[in-house]
Amino acid sequence: MDEAAGNGLGQQARRSLLQLIFVSTGALLWGFALLQFDNDNTLLAWLEIAVGSLLIWSAWYLRRVRWLTPWIYAYLLPTFCFQIYIMLMPAASATAFVWVYMVPMLAYLLLGGKAGLLLSLPFMLLAVVLYITRYADLQTAHGLIDLGNAVICGLMILLFVHFYEVRRANAQQTLERLAETDALTGVYNRGRFQQLFEQCIEQGQRSGDGFALVLLDVDHFKQVNDGWGHEVGDRALRHLCKVLQRRLRKTDVIGRLGGEEFGLLLRSTDAQAGEQLVQVLCSQLQQTPLCWGDKQELRITATFGVAHWPTDALDAESLYRRADQRLYRGKAYGRNRVISQGGPLQISELG
């Protein structure tokens, strides 16, 4: 699973950004270390060199890190605390406050909307309190304007970054959904189905959990289109998906493989239970007509080929071929039926 789902940028973009941030912070600390040597702050200078070097080494190491979130927090929390500490230092300049504007930007970019907001808010509020207690002159108009500039600018940055991130995350989710679903029926498209099929095999290899691959094809669909028109044909395909989805579990998968052909992945199922479920699907489809308009009614049926992992085949290609053979044998036997492991076609398949 992608760790970055809903967490700001995608995983690869977050990795590159984090590397860039580590390198630039490391270089900045080296630069400050030189100034500290110049100021005879030798201890602080060596500390900055050590932290800077650690950050640059971490940027290189991040290439192979799988879970970025702990690294992000390990960077953001000390950095934000350090920014607050700088503001507290007696000799600090009032301009040290501007570093607080980096807080929402870094937090939202690296953590996404919700976590970004939760992390930014306390640091920004603390910075405002510190600014008021240390620098603000609430007695004069000039002081109030300074305070207004500092606070309003921070609030606007937080608002814009939040608004942008929420819109960006929604747009990304929509794009991801469009990229993996079939526009007509709303079920997974062929590419996504294939990925999920391969994942089922990988999971099965790890856990030993069996699953059924089902290929189904609507019977005489050309006649539906020719007799009722393509619009009704399209409705019939959507109707078929609804009927199947009504009976399937949340963990099962349905995908449109093309035209009037669909695939199902029935997870955590043995061969017998898989076949029984598909028998139920087949008869429910037959018994549930598509109804529309003024008592218009259309019954469709489909032929199902079922192959079970691991009993029928171990690799994706052979399992798919086995289900496909069964589907087309079902068509040859007269359609509207389920052909599986124990079915009448076993002898011819083996032969």
The site for ligand GTP (CB under 6 A) is made up of: 184, 217-222, 225, 230, 233-234, 237, 259-260, 331, 335
Residue 239 CB, nearest distance to ligand GTP (Å)? 12
Determine the residue with CB nearest ligand GTP.
233
Sorted by sequence, the CB contacts under 8 Å of residue 106 that are 6+ apart come out as 21, 76, 79
Q: Which is nearer to ligand GTP, 167 or 299 (CB)?
A: 299
Instruction: Judge contact between 302 and 312, C-beta under 8 A.
Output: no
Sorted by sequence, the CB contacts under 8 Å of residue 274 that are 6+ apart come out as 211, 212, 214, 266, 306, 308, 340
CA distance 145 to 99: 19
Q: Which is nearer to ligand GTP, 73 or 228 (CB)?
A: 228
Q: Which is nearer to ligand GTP, 97 or 188 (CB)?
A: 188
Residue 189 CB, nearest distance to ligand GTP (Å)? 12
CA distance 297 to 56: 69
Q: Which is nearer to ligand GTP, 114 or 192 (CB)?
A: 192
Q: Which is nearer to ligand GTP, 258 or 289 (CB)?
A: 258
Residue 350 CB, nearest distance to ligand GTP (Å)? 25
CA distance 157 to 123: 14
Phi, psi of 224 (to 5 degrees): -60, -50
Say how far residue 291 (Cα) sits from the centre of its chain.
Answer: 36
Q: How many helices (H) and strands (E) does the chain have?
A: 12, 7
Residue 296 CB, nearest distance to ligand GTP (Å)? 16
Q: Which is nearer to ligand GTP, 109 or 224 (CB)?
A: 224
> What is each CA distance from 273 to 53, 201, 308, 318, 340, in whole angstroms?
59, 18, 10, 21, 11
Residue 298 CB, nearest distance to ligand GTP (Å)? 12
Residue 231 CB, nearest distance to ligand GTP (Å)? 8
Task: Output the DSSP codes for 1-30.
Answer: --TTTTSSS-HHHHHHHHHHHHHHHHHHHH
Identity of the amino acid at 257: L
Q: Which is nearer to ligand GTP, 30 or 328 (CB)?
A: 328
Residue 328 CB, nearest distance to ligand GTP (Å)? 9
